[in-house]
């Protein structure tokens, strides 16, 4: 055991222990642990290298303080060399504790130095920055889908550098490339906080499934290897047999996703005042509607009792306003993701939390209301088109889906509430032929009634049929008075079938044209 006594003098005390020990005057009787350093900041240190410093631990009281040991809380990038034997510190004396920072990855690192003594412990925050490159591919896999024989499809793969320095990489196929081709150099570099785009292509051979793997290696510390699987298929037509249920005339299910947290905290109260206007627009077209409201920060469950509002519900404008006003003020704005979640079969099925909201064949309108950008990428890193396709698959007929964006528009706005543009919500609206409205408008829903209309005189096959193979049946009998609209990819009836009729389509799908 090391002992560092301090000889009390009129002017202070002097160290009686080794080397850098320092003693200062104190008149306390009991030992106390302290340090003049409230935190340790290493600053930027190159990845793979090491920086060192010391922290002076002091007996800020009287008597004797025994320094038993020191370590870091997590030990990911910071290290405390062994202290050896316990050290006894006399009144006012201090001893150095060594601390090392050896980052293995770029970016900010944090930890805590924990010093243990016979009277307790002292915790000091520690931070440092790993200075280096951090290159990663933007996706874990690439799916090219099915293509006719001889067709080629390209895909862009992004390499991001999240680090503080430019970094180099190599890329090549891990084994046989098969029908895949890398349309880029096999080596390159990515500037700090930037990205590069690499193209890879798939040319479909004869019908069948194909796969390969791209291997990326980073050349700067920390050196890492990433493998990105590639899949594609040569297409062969398989007969499609699908059935649709004819909805009631004008049937439209309206799902509203409302954000009430963060910078959107004023949105629920503001939109509650617009509930009557939305109801008036639906009534003006005689819509056979179902209305449901979910929170952007929730788990996709409809708000209020009853959960579904219909034309037969009591005081629809008041009930809708109450649901808007009571929306949660917590959570991230998972707008597109929670819309997808709300329509999951487990939720809209007979025993689900949102049972009764979705009707077969009814049009679906999704109103996205937020004063900030969508954060669905925090849950699933999908593009708006992928969410559209996911929701379209859950309602059987994607053309029945239309988004309405009620946010800051393209440029943002301020007024009763202020709102920022939300690119993903705007894109989803454009791709489905919907309407973007300003949340700052005094009457955002004015004139939107026609966009909710749905006259069910057509059904949309899940794939594009070869018209020569298309057979249409209604309630088990060959249908009469119908045509196939190539532009809309829809079967159009001269007279809509009766409500509840079973519409069956049988056909061979067209193979997609080469991109």
Task: List the structure tokens of 254.
Answer: 């309206």
Tell me: pLDDT of 433 over 80: yes
What pTM was computed for the model? 0.50
Tell me: pLDDT of 17 over 50: no
Band the pLDDT of 488: cuts 50, 70, 90.
confident
If one compares 150 and 112, the residue with the highest pLDDT of the two is 112
Across the range 212-229, mean pLDDT stands at 92
pLDDT tens track for 178-188 = 999 999 999 99
Tell me: pLDDT of 1 over 70: no
Query: Is residue 340 classed exposed, middle or buried when 0-12, 13-18 and 19+ CB atoms within 10 A define those classes?
Result: buried
Alpha-carbon distance of 175 to 189, in angstroms, equals 23
pLDDT tens track for 390-412 = 888 777 666 678 888 888 766 77
Q: In the chain, what percentage of residues exceed pLDDT 90?
A: 54
| pLDDT value for 3 | 54
Tokens 């800051």 belong to residue:
408
Tell me: pLDDT of 490 over 50: yes
Band the pLDDT of 7: cuts 50, 70, 90.
very low
Closest Cα partner for 376 from 390, 392, 364?
390
Alpha-carbon distance of 15 to 4, in angstroms, equals 7
| pLDDT value for 6 | 52
Alpha-carbon distance of 493 to 484, in angstroms, equals 9
Band the pLDDT of 249: cuts 50, 70, 90.
confident
- 429, 366 in Cβ contact below 8 A? no
N-to-C CA span, the chain: 77
Task: List the structure tokens of 236.
Answer: 């062969």
pLDDT tens track for 321-365 = 999 999 987 888 999 999 999 999 999 989 999 999 998 778 899
The sign of the dihedral angle between the CA atoms of 353, 357, 359, 360 is negative
Cis peptide before 306 (omega within 30 of 0): yes
| pLDDT value for 84 | 87
Band the pLDDT of 94: cuts 50, 70, 90.
very high
Across the range 431-450, mean pLDDT stands at 86
Tell me: pLDDT of 44 over 70: yes
Tell me: pLDDT of 220 over 90: no
Band the pLDDT of 9: cuts 50, 70, 90.
very low
| CB proximity list for 58: less than 8 A, separation 6 or greater | 22, 24, 33, 34, 35, 36, 89, 92, 93, 94
Tell me: pLDDT of 91 over 60: yes
Tell me: pLDDT of 380 over 50: yes
Alpha-carbon distance of 329 to 295, in angstroms, equals 9
| pLDDT value for 26 | 55
| pLDDT value for 253 | 94
Alpha-carbon distance of 163 to 232, in angstroms, equals 33
């Amino acid at each position: 055991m090391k002992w560092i006594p301090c000889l009390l003098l009129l002017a202070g005390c002097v160290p009686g222990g080794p080397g850098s020990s320092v003693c200062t005057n104190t008149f306390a009787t009991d030992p106390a642990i302290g340090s003049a350093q409230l935190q340790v900041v290493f600053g930027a240190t190159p990845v793979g290298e090491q920086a060192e410093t010391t922290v002076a631990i002091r007996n800020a009281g009287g008597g004797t303080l025994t320094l038993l040991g020191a370590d870091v809380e997590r030990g990911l990038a910071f290290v405390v060399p062994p202290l050896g034997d316990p050290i006894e510190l006399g009144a006012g004396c201090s001893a150095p504790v060594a601390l090392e920072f050896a980052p293995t990855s770029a970016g900010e690192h944090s930890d805590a130095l924990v010093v243990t003594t016979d009277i307790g412990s002292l915790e000091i925050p520690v931070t440092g920055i790993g200075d280096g490159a951090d290159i990663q591919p933007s996706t874990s896999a690439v799916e090219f889908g099915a293509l006719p024989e001889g067709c080629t499809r390209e895909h862009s793969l992004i390499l991001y550098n999240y680090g503080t320095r430019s970094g180099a990489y190599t890329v090549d196929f891990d084994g046989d490339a098969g029908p895949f081709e890398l349309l880029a150099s096999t080596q390159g570099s990515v500037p700090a906080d930037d990205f590069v785009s690499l193209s890879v292509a798939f040319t479909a051979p004869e019908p069948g499934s194909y796969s390969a793997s791209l291997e990326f290696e980073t050349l700067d510390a920390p050196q890492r290897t990433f493998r990105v699987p590639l899949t594609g298929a040569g297409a062969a037509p398989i007969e499609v047999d699908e059935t649709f249920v004819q909805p009631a005339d004008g049937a439209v299910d309206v799902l509203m996703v409302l954000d009430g947290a963060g910078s959107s905290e004023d949105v629920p109260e503001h939109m509650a005042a617009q509930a009557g206007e939305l109801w008036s627009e639906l009534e003006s077209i005689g819509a056979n509607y179902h209305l449901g409201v979910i929170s952007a920060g929730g788990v996709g469950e409809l708000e209020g009792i009853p959960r579904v509002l219909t034309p037969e519900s009591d005081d629809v404008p008041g009930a809708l306003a109450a649901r808007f006003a009571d929306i949660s003020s917590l959570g991230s704005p998972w707008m597109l993701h929670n819309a997808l979640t709300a329509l999951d079969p487990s939720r809209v099925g007979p025993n689900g939390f949102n049972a009764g909201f979705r009707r077969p064949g009814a049009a679906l309108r999704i109103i996205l209301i937020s004063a900030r950008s969508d954060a669905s990428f925090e849950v699933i890193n999908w593009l708006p088109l992928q969410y559209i396709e996911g929701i379209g698959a859950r309602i059987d007929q994607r053309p029945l889906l239309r988004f309405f964006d009620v946010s800051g528009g393209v440029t943002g706005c301020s007024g009763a509430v202020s709102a920022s543009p939300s690119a993903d919500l705007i894109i989803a609206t454009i791709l489905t032929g919907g309407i973007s409205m300003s949340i700052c408008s005094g009457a955002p829903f004015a004139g939107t009634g026609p966009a909710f209309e749905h006259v069910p005189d057509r059904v949309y096959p899940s794939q594009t049929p070869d018209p020569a193979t298309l057979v249409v049946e209604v309630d088990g009998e060959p249908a009469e008075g119908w045509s196939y609209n190539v532009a809309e990819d829809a079967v159009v009836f001269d007279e809509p079938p009766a409500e509840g009729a079973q519409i069956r389509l049988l056909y061979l799908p067209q193979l997609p044209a080469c991109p």
